[in-house]
Structure 1
């Protein structure tokens, strides 16, 4: 019934369907394309990457939820989502040329610089959530390129220590480089009662998840969703809607389907004909896995709200396009895999 959904959400359906159709076409096109052709275009891809990020500051900027990360070119596009996929291509080429030699410090620092420039441009927008996705991509791809685990663990411990200090110092330290709404989200995660409005969203999400039970209340029957207590339920808190309307079983099915996709991508990485193809698969798997974990963590109050979408499910045209394009790239790798006797 239409009264179960806010009119604003109904208006999003045609746009999301158009993006889904475009995504399917993009996925099919990339799966046919030989992924190795992209390696030869890495410089052009990197220039395109920087261009789409710089465009945010000059053309058709539209502020959404505190972030100025959208441009209007007939349809609304989020350049940071496009950049995420382009970074996987360019970083994959960079690491593939240094495959198994990535443990040298200059190579590590150059790989960090490779994602550092786009990350700074994205942070200025500001989009802290996407910056964390880029770091997850870097960690996964540099591990896939052969960085010894002890180096990776050491680096992660250093970052965790720095992040822990920042969180302990809380708002006074992080207020400078971050926008007010981002500080509010982090401070609410540290102290849920510090901001009633932010806590309301998280609390309603927890109520939604808990009230779904084993089998859920049924499609469009969820009281939190239907009563509009759950805000941004089409993006940040979409998993809470799934849990309320389809229950624990529906949530497991959702995670299981995403898990199957991830396993197929990782199999593609293992059977890839070269290091570049393998690293492409690792990069795509990294952002799908990280965004899934983060999105669910936000809904369960285990992570700060960062605005990251749940892959394949959350409303967001560019996010869907980048995910489908990523699947297309991995399909290209799988189609040209090594034959296993």
Structure 2
């Protein structure tokens, strides 16, 4: 397949418009939730929605830039981009800012950069390139792919950032599966993970152990580690069928709900828009993933299939974890809800990922009509 940078005419002609509409729809709903959540942060931060909108505009420019360059040209630079991401993760261990028990951010004046977010894009690119060249069909090739991904995953665990490490692991598993790894290899990998759990437990920080324990029983520490879970479940449950109404959610407005603009933004939305509003959000995410999977299935480029599947795994994992966490159905990891949670690094990374998926769609449609 010849690599190319499409013209704007080709992009407009072959654009997957439902993918664009779904992305914009979810971003707008996220802004609505963020307006309410920003008023629930202690020492109110009404500027959060405006900052998020500005990050969204920057993300839109990045999205268009990816479309113009073409995913094939990004794959050509996959190794340098991945090495750059690894370099940032290494530098983070020395120069990063520590918060909430993890050293995961660079402070750049008024801005914060979280390299693990951009690293997800780099990991997707390098896995697509590596697995298409060296399919993990033999034990050596399978372990080689684990080695490629394992470097970044190990650096995340040193921060420690367990949530992002889980995302990187999910991306790697999907890349292995799509590129032809034998089910027995994947089963052995899963079994090894289970066997390693007792040893991993000993390596967890105290606050990480408490997050897992209060997931099983929040009443173990209702005023400490279990407080977030209890308040989030109250917020989700109090929304009922149709919710309390926009800006009428008491859990966030009265400062009971912690981190309403990031970790628990879905809880804010659920309280104000209820079961029907949450159903709409879940349907939009389901349609978004359906379009992404369709793009992967229609492409004749194995690299593109692996890339889109890997990026889809990242976004799907975070959506499921963030929503389940809000309802007390999964341990708290601090993963942002894509297109909803406040954060420039995550929103920019998501825009790059969705731009790569759209680039694959444009390339596939162009080939179909050539």
Normalised TM-score (structure 1):
0.91
- 1:251 Cα deviation from its structure 2 partner: 0.5
Residue in structure 2 matched with residue 180 of structure 1 by the alignment: 206
Q: Secondary structure of the equivalent of 2:151?
A: helix
Q: Secondary structure of the equivalent of 2:93?
A: coil
Aligned Cα root-mean-square deviation (Å): 2.0
- 1:56 Cα deviation from its structure 2 partner: 0.9
Among 236, 243, 253, which residue is 1:226 paired with?
A: 253
- 1:203 Cα deviation from its structure 2 partner: 0.9
Q: Secondary structure of the equivalent of 1:71?
A: strand
Measured in 1, the distance between the counterparts of 2:147 and 2:357 equals 25
Measured in 2, the distance between the counterparts of 1:106 and 1:150 equals 14
1:9–1:234 Cα contact (<8 Å) kept? no
Alignment: residue pair count: 330
Q: Secondary structure of the equivalent of 1:37?
A: helix
1:69–1:79 Cα contact (<8 Å) kept? yes
Measured in 1, the distance between the counterparts of 2:137 and 2:312 equals 22
Structure 1 residues 232 and 55: CA distance shift in structure 2, 3 A = same
Among 106, 115, 130, which residue is 1:71 paired with?
A: 106
Q: Secondary structure of the equivalent of 1:58?
A: helix
Q: Map Cα deviations across residues 204-225 of structure 1 (whole Å, 9 max, x no partner).
A: 1111111111111111101111
- 1:65 Cα deviation from its structure 2 partner: 1.3
- 1:337 Cα deviation from its structure 2 partner: 0.8
Measured in 2, the distance between the counterparts of 1:245 and 1:279 equals 38
Q: Which runs of 5+ in 2 are unaligned?
A: 1-34
Among 270, 276, 291, which residue is 2:297 paired with?
A: 270
- Please state if 1:236 is matched with 2:263: yes
Among 169, 186, 208, which residue is 1:152 paired with?
A: 186
Q: Which runs of 5+ in 1 are unaligned?
A: 167-172
- 1:268 Cα deviation from its structure 2 partner: 1.1
Residue in structure 1 matched with residue 335 of structure 2 by the alignment: 308
- 1:188 Cα deviation from its structure 2 partner: 1.7
Measured in 1, the distance between the counterparts of 2:194 and 2:289 equals 26
Residue in structure 1 matched with residue 220 of structure 2 by the alignment: 194
Structure 1 residues 53 and 4: CA distance shift in structure 2, 3 A = closer
- 1:250 Cα deviation from its structure 2 partner: 0.5
Measured in 2, the distance between the counterparts of 1:185 and 1:124 equals 18
Measured in 2, the distance between the counterparts of 1:150 and 1:227 equals 52
Q: Map Cα deviations across residues 261-285 of structure 1 (whole Å, 9 max, x no partner).
A: 1111111111123111111101110
Among 203, 215, 222, which residue is 2:242 paired with?
A: 215
- Please state if 1:328 is matched with 2:355: yes
Q: Secondary structure of the equivalent of 1:260?
A: helix
Q: Secondary structure of the equivalent of 1:305?
A: coil
Measured in 2, the distance between the counterparts of 1:208 and 1:331 equals 36
- 1:154 Cα deviation from its structure 2 partner: 4.1
Q: Secondary structure of the equivalent of 2:256?
A: coil
Residue in structure 1 matched with residue 163 of structure 2 by the alignment: 129
Measured in 2, the distance between the counterparts of 1:57 and 1:158 equals 28
Residue in structure 2 matched with residue 48 of structure 1 by the alignment: 84
